[in-house]
């Protein structure tokens, strides 16, 4: 891989051991994937934040690094609400380790906002920008809806990009790897969590392919967020297109066609009922302002009978104290900086009902809890003890 004189100097250790190690990671990835060179990134989103996932080895690795990030960098959700962890049922021992992890990132200059929807709170990406983002739903949204360019980075490679300010130019950074491989025709009127169910189905079929959707209507930003998130979890889709909605793809020809109707969407709900859940969680990916408003409207004046978590970015919650108050007056909790999948607090439940195809796919394995799927309204009804 070609390195400029400055990059070569970093690679040789002229700017210290941390940058040398970070450059080594970027060059190793570039060599594996045949990158010609490095490219500057506009922003970085770093995974590997929940202590539940990284453990002691990960914490030591991060704590060992020195220096400051070269570009705006933000974190993925942590294993707990950084302020209200006790209310989640997190142990003191875990909280200390999680706080240590956050402090290690803070020392490197990473912005301490822990969210999978950084695009909802900061201006970090525009069409055509190169990025180094980690979390699969954020990667999908950046590539597909914003039209920026990022591979799905692991924690170490994202941090390497944050400190160096560059990434290796391969994969989704290049037009030739951004051509659709499947045409997906959907003959149904969809809304809300239907997009999560659709993504759950399509991700399983296309795996790491690039679907091009022909839909009946135009999904909202939140619906696109849900669609991308579930395809990234049931498959490993990092880029998709929706005809006349998302930025258009480079010239392409479909290798395969898929047809999906209402029946297939309804089968996803039927096969994953959540009515017997003992807890409900909304906000995968993290809730937008609009979603908080909708949840507040559904809960206003009511009292939940089951645990109901609403996960969002702290900045979104802080911008809407009235909505948070309305939601919490029902007995539900709005937790920030974390989510039902990456927090160990989920493990005490037997079954969790969600309105997210991604959480449905990940909760049994990563959250060690059974999962059921419903619309936002159905989830809230279950939390209220209504059938
Ligand atoms: Fe975000 Fe957690 Fe879902 S990181 S996309 S809320 S699994």
Kindly indicate the confidence band of residue 254, based on its pLDDT and cuts at 50, 70 and 90. confident
CA distances from residue 244 to 70, 139, 214 in whole angstroms, order as listed: 36, 21, 9
Atom of ligand 1 nearest to the CA of 136: 5
User: 5-175 and 272-383: same fold?
Assistant: yes
**pLDDT tops 80 at residue 149:** yes
| Mean pLDDT of the region 24-51 | 98
- Alpha helix (H) residue ranges in 153-261: 155-164, 194-206, 221-234
Q: Residue 5 C-alpha to ligand 1 middle, in angstroms?
A: 40
Look up residue 162 and give its DSSP letter. H
Kindly indicate the confidence band of residue 221, based on its pLDDT and cuts at 50, 70 and 90. very high
- The distance of Cα 103 from the centroid of its chain, to the nearest Å, equals 22
- Cβ of residue 116 lying under 6 Å from some atom of ligand 1: yes
pTM for this one?
Answer: 0.98
| Mean pLDDT of the region 312-333 | 98
pLDDT, tens digit, for every residue of 168-202? 999 999 999 999 999 999 999 999 999 999 999 99
> What pLDDT score was predicted for residue 386?
85
DSSP 237-304: ----EETTTSPPPSS---SEEEEEEHHHHHHHHHHT--TT-SEEEEEEEEEPHHHHHHHHHHHTT---
- Residue from 113, 118, 236, 284 to probe ligand 1 pocket by mutation (most atoms less than 8 Å from CB): 284
The percentage of the chain sitting over the pLDDT mark of 70, rounded to a whole number, equals 100
CATH top class, domain 5-175? alpha beta
- Residue from 46, 50, 116, 142 to probe ligand 1 pocket by mutation (most atoms less than 8 Å from CB): 116
> What pLDDT score was predicted for residue 63?
98
Domain extents in the chain: 5-175, 179-269, 272-383
| Mean pLDDT of the region 92-112 | 98
Residue predicted with more confidence, 53 or 387: 53
Options 3.40.50.150, 3.30.499.10, 3.20.20.140, 3.20.20.70; which CATH number does 272-383 get? 3.30.499.10
Atom of ligand 1 nearest to the CA of 311: 6
Which residue has 């055509």 as its token pair?
A: 128
> What pLDDT score was predicted for residue 231?
98
Q: Residue 311 C-alpha to ligand 1 middle, in angstroms?
A: 9
């Amino acid at each position: 891989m070609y390195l400029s004189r400055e990059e070569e100097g970093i690679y040789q250790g002229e700017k210290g051991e941390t940058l040398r190690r970070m450059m080594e990671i970027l060059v190793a990835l570039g060599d594996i994937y045949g990158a010609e060179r490095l490219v500057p990134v506009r922003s970085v989103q770093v995974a590997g934040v929940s202590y539940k996932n990284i453990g002691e080895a990960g914490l030591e690795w991060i704590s060992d690094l020195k220096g400051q990030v070269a570009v705006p960098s933000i974190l993925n959700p942590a294993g707990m609400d950084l302020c209200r962890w006790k209310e989640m049922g997190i142990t003191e021992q875990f909280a200390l380790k999680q706080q240590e992890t956050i402090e290690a990132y803070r020392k490197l200059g990473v912005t301490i906002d822990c969210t999978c929807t950084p695009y909802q709170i900061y201006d970090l990406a525009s069409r055509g920008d190169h990025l180094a983002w980690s979390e699969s739903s954020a990667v999908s949204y950046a590539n597909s809806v914003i039209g920026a360019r990022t591979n799905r980075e692991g924690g170490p490679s994202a941090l390497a990009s944050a400190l160096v300010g560059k990434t290796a130019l391969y994969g989704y950074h290049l037009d030739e790897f951004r051509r659709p491989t499947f045409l997906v025709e959907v003959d149904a009127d969809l809304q809300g969590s239907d997009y999560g169910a659709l993504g759950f189905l399509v991700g399983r079929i296309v795996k790491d392919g690039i679907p091009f959707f022909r839909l009946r209507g135009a999904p909202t930003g939140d619906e696109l967020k849900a669609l991308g998130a579930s395809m990234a979890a049931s498959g490993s889709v990092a880029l998709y297109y929706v005809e006349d909605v998302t930025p258009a793809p480079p010239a392409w020809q479909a290798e395969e066609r898929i047809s999906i109707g209402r029946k297939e969407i309804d089968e996803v709900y039927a096969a994953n009922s959540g009515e017997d859940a003992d807890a409900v969680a909304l906000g995968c990916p993290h809730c937008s302002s609009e979603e908080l408003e909708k949840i507040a409207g559904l809960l206003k004046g009511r009292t939940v009978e089951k645990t109901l978590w609403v996960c969002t970015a702290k900045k979104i919650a802080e911008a809407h104290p009235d909505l948070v108050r309305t939601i919490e007056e029902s007995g539900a909790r709005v937790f920030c900086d974390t989510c039902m999948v990456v927090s160990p607090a989920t493990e005490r439940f037997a079954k969790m009902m969600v309105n997210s195809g991604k959480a449905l796919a990940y909760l049994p394995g990563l959250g060690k809890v059974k999962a059921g799927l419903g619309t936002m309204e159905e989830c809230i009804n279950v939390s209220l003890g209504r059938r």
